[in-house]
Amino acid sequence: MSPIVPIKSESQIATADFRDAMRHLVGGVSVITVGRGRDISGMTVTSVSSLSVDPPSVVVSVNRSSSSWPLLTRYGFFGANLLSAEQLEIAERFSGKNGLKGADRFAGAAWNTGISGVPLLVGALAAADCEVEDIVERHSHGIVIGRVRDLIVSPCAAALAYWQGQYVAVDRDEDVARLAEVGVPRGTGQAGSEGRPPRIPSLATIRPTGTIS
């Protein structure tokens, strides 16, 4: 049995310990887009998640010191663009890593203008045009609730996630392709014709997709 690490009381929790704990959390990578016209910016986030289906709404946690924050609060809309594994470069641009700001972050990718005026990424797994419904300011961040006003959904493709400090691709087709190679019918986990041991297909394969410097 693996050793159990005791939970410390809040006063003892060091920032580094908390960061280490959160590295275990797999986060789907999205780009939040804000503003309109040339007055636009955006940021890479892992905090987008679905809040409710009826009404369709999402929640995202945004640092109030980010350059996107004033545009988010001024215009009251944001785009939630769920990235595919092919869009790693876009994630890097919008994390501010290369020093690009504002409209310059959007270069090199195709964007549509959503009904609210926010940019929506062409080829994102899903792109939602959201109206800010509520903001709860807490600590360094604002918890933003967005009502989905419009939605574009792409066919299923490998998703971009962030886990253990690196970008990873979550790819269902990769496993299916491997199963085809060894002759195991999809979803059965039965032995191939040469009597290979049964292999239970996992739902998805996670593979490193890029490095962070």
Ligand X SMILES: Cc1cc2nc3c(=O)[nH]c(=O)nc-3n(C[C@H](O)[C@H](O)[C@H](O)COP(=O)(O)O)c2cc1C
Note the residues at the interface with ligand X (CB under 6 A). Answer: 29, 41, 43-47, 61-63, 66-68, 94-96, 162
- Hey, which residues does 167 pair with through a beta bridge? 162
Least spacing, CB of residue 167 vs ligand X, in Å: 7
d(CA 48, CA 51): 9
Least spacing, CB of residue 76 vs ligand X, in Å: 18
Specify the residue, 72 or 120, whose C-beta has the smaller distance to ligand X.
Answer: 72
Least spacing, CB of residue 96 vs ligand X, in Å: 3
Specify the residue, 46 or 57, whose C-beta has the smaller distance to ligand X.
Answer: 46
d(CA 90, CA 208): 16
Residue closest to 84 by CA, chosen among 40, 130, 128, 122: 122
Least spacing, CB of residue 203 vs ligand X, in Å: 22
Element (H, E) at 141: strand 141-153
Specify the residue, 111 or 184, whose C-beta has the smaller distance to ligand X.
Answer: 111
Specify the residue, 27 or 56, whose C-beta has the smaller distance to ligand X.
Answer: 27
- Per-residue b/e over 97-111, b at no fewer than 16 CB within 10 Å? eeebeeeebbeebeb
